[in-house]
Amino acid sequence: MHFLALAADFDGTLSEASKVDNSTLNAIRQLQATGRKMILVTGRSIDNLSQAVPRLEIFDRIVAENGAVLYRPVERKTVLLAAGLPRSFILNLRQRKVEPLWLGEIVVATRTENTQAVLDAIQELDLAAEIATNNGTIMVLPAGINKATGLAVALDDLGIPPEAVVSVGDGENDTILFDFTGCGVAVANAGAAVKARADDVTNRPIGAGVSELIDRITAAEWVQVWRCQAQSAEAPAQR
């Protein structure tokens, strides 16, 4: 199995406190120099992300809002992958005094302590909604939308099959990527439950862990030392 792309989460994976180290950016360029693609898969909106990463063109594709938005950085083109939640849902949450309330193009997000209020609003309005949690945040999306569905669109755009992709993340909402791609890797700072779902775990945390992973993917000897290769080569159709 020859991996053609890396799909990475942002917060707690590529970045710490919204900052991506220069060494991590250089590692991404190293990956792309081999002809492989770098795909960002994040819960953030494009507007919010652009404040943290001024040059989004370093990514070949960005899947934003936990799978609801596809962004092509070179073209600066945004594609919405779902219809937004009804305005009545936002009004209901505000009536319940749910704060803070973050609104993207599609996603509606708040802190996890507001989970019950969000569930009550969904039930009251009989909404078909997808809920994802990650590091103290709850995200609400139209049913059937998640990081894997968004990544599937990005990969179709690039002509890359899921089994030829390595995914890396640190949060609960990243584990769906582990199941969807040819190999799922947790960075060292991920929680125990996330690591348990991964095929492998980096030795180093956050961006340093991603750099380590890129070294593994691009190094000539990685086939012999990385168990993800063996698992993917033996049974790519089972993932």
pLDDT digits (tens, 9 = 90+) for 75-112: 999 999 999 999 999 999 999 999 999 999 999 999 99
What does the pLDDT average to over 122-143? 95
Domain around 117: 87-142
Of 163, 97, 161, 108, residue with least CA distance to 130? 108
The one-letter amino acid code at 8 reads: A
CATH classification at residue 169: 3.40.50.1000
Please tell me whether residues 37 and 93 are part of one structural domain: no
Residue 77: CB atoms within 10 A of its CB come to 9
Please tell me whether residues 18 and 135 are part of one structural domain: no
Strand order in the sheet with 102-103: 102-103, 108-111, 137-142, 129-134
Q: What's the confidence (pLDDT) of residue 54?
A: 82
Whose tokens are 């980096």? That residue is: 202
Q: Is the pLDDT of residue 239 over 50?
A: no
Please tell me whether residues 14 and 63 are part of one structural domain: yes
What does the pLDDT average to over 34-44? 97
When divided into structural domains, the chain yields a total of 2
Please tell me whether residues 221 and 152 are part of one structural domain: yes
Q: What's the confidence (pLDDT) of residue 234?
A: 46
Please tell me whether residues 73 and 158 are part of one structural domain: yes
**Bridge partners for 26 per DSSP:** none
Please tell me whether residues 48 and 116 are part of one structural domain: no
In this structure, what are the phi and psi dihedrals at residue 209, rounded to the nearest 5 degrees?
-70, -40
Please tell me whether residues 105 and 61 are part of one structural domain: no
Please tell me whether residues 158 and 73 are part of one structural domain: yes
- CA 127 to mean position of chain CA atoms: 24
Phi-psi domain of 8 (left: phi exceeds 0; alpha: psi -120 through 50; beta: other): beta
Please tell me whether residues 39 and 153 are part of one structural domain: yes
DSSP 10: T
